Chain A
Amino acid sequence: MAVKIRLRRIGAKKAPFYRVVVADSRYPRDGRCIEELGYYDPTKEPTVFKVDAEKAKAWMEKGAQPTDTVKALFKKNNI
């Protein structure tokens, strides 16, 4: 179990902004990701969450684990 769906912060100081990525959990820091699924912008009101639901489902069927934060976001957005 090494593949995870997680958020990765990009965006500037004062302005957090996240990409939703599929990445290997063993290399958290090297910046590589297997695939980008979408993004999450917590600064807007309401927050913007946009992902490719088909791809996300396909990855989860293959055993990719979403992190708790991502899981909560999926749930909130009915994916």
Chain B
Amino acid sequence: MGKDLSMCRLLDLYGGLLTDKQRDIMDLYYNDDLSLGEIADHYDISRQGVHDAIKRGDESLAEYEQRLGLLKADEQRRDEIAHFKELALDAFNECNAHRSFRSVAEKIVTLLETFDERLEEYEVPSPEDEKQ
């Protein structure tokens, strides 16, 4: 059984809907990369029990995503913002070329900054930044 790491994004979004214990088990499995056997030792339950809990959790998460679609909506939102940013950039370049439109160009800069901030939320911090 291979680990599907895309599952951990669903766990971020819908983890709160699972029971505490189930979420803990799935957190250990996906986020800390423990094996089924290790989790079983940790909780004093059988390997099979852990496997079942994770499988049930996977199914729940997949169903939540199917019904609520937050992950998909989130990705769409990011693409949209990126698209808006492109449009704004075009507008900025056009306005900047004409002296009479300079004041509009300045306003577009504010807009671009806002889009950048929104897009930053989706960025993965680089490993150098993460060094503690």
Interface on A for B, CB 8 Å cutoff? 6-19, 25, 28-29, 39, 41-44, 50, 67-70, 72
A8 to B31, CA, bound (A): 6
Interface on B for A, CB 8 Å cutoff? 2-3, 5-6, 8-9, 12, 28, 30-35, 38, 42, 74, 121-125, 127, 130
B31 to A15, Cβ gap below 8 A?
Answer: no
A68 to B124, Cβ gap below 8 A?
Answer: no
Which chain B residue lies CB-closest to A9?
A: B31
Q: What are 8 residue pairs bridging A and B, where the CB atoms are less than 8 Å apart in the complex?
A: A12-B125, A13-B12, A14-B12, A15-B123, A17-B130, A41-B127, A42-B6, A68-B3
A28 to B42, Cβ gap below 8 A?
Answer: yes
Identify which of B3, B28, B32, B124 contacts A11 (C-beta below 8 A). B124
A15 to B3, CA, bound (A): 17
A67 to B36, CA, bound (A): 11
Which chain B residue lies CB-closest to A8?
A: B32
Q: Which residues of the other chain, A, contact B125 by a CB distance below 8 angstroms?
A: 11-12, 15, 17
Q: Which residues of the other chain, A, contact B31 by a CB distance below 8 angstroms?
A: 8-9, 16
Known: A12-B125, A17-B124, A28-B42. 11 other contacts (CB 8 A): A8-B32, A8-B33, A14-B122, A16-B31, A28-B34, A28-B38, A41-B127, A67-B34, A68-B3, A69-B2, A69-B33
Which chain B residue lies CB-closest to A41?
A: B124
Which chain A residue lies CB-closest to B8?
A: A16
A6 to B2, Cβ gap below 8 A?
Answer: no
A16 to B33, CA, bound (A): 13
Q: Which residues of the other chain, A, contact B127 by a CB distance below 8 angstroms?
A: 17, 39, 41, 50
A43 to B32, Cβ gap below 8 A?
Answer: no
B8 to A25, Cβ gap below 8 A?
Answer: no
B122 to A6, Cβ gap below 8 A?
Answer: no
Which chain B residue lies CB-closest to A16?
A: B8
